[in-house]
Amino acid sequence: MIDRTILVKFGEQTTTEQLQEIVDRFKALKQHLNGVVEVNAGINFSDNNKGYQLVLRVRFEDQAALEAYGPNPEHQAVAALIREYGREDSIAANIEV
């Protein structure tokens, strides 16, 4: 299995409501993706978050499922929303588990 974790930093103009909408939309992706074991997302409340407000995580069955995730239209719609709401930076990490 593969875990993909994404940390996202937004500008000051991004509201808590917008962050929560992204969390909700991201969690709903599971029903639109094949080969996905688990989807988690939330607003980062760590004191040491370096400005990264969102944590998004997906666990895939295998590499093929990870590769299908990127171009998936539902995933692309959430990615567009993240950009629209003021994404300034993001960090992604993939690990085998």
- Residue range 49-61, pLDDT digits in tens: 999 999 999 999 9
Residue 41 burial (CB < 10 Å; 0-12/13-18/19+)? buried
**Averaged pLDDT for residues 31-39:** 95
pLDDT of residue 90: 98
**Averaged pLDDT for residues 3-29:** 97
Coil vs helix vs strand at 63: helix
**Averaged pLDDT for residues 65-86:** 97
What token pair was written down for 8? 């996202």
**Averaged pLDDT for residues 62-68:** 97
Single-letter amino acid code for the residue at 86: G
Residue 26 burial (CB < 10 Å; 0-12/13-18/19+)? buried
Q: Which H or E run contains 25? A: helix 16-27
pTM: 0.94
Average pLDDT, the chain: 97
**Averaged pLDDT for residues 60-75:** 96
CA distances (Å), origin 42, targets 37, 54, 65, 70 = 17, 6, 22, 20
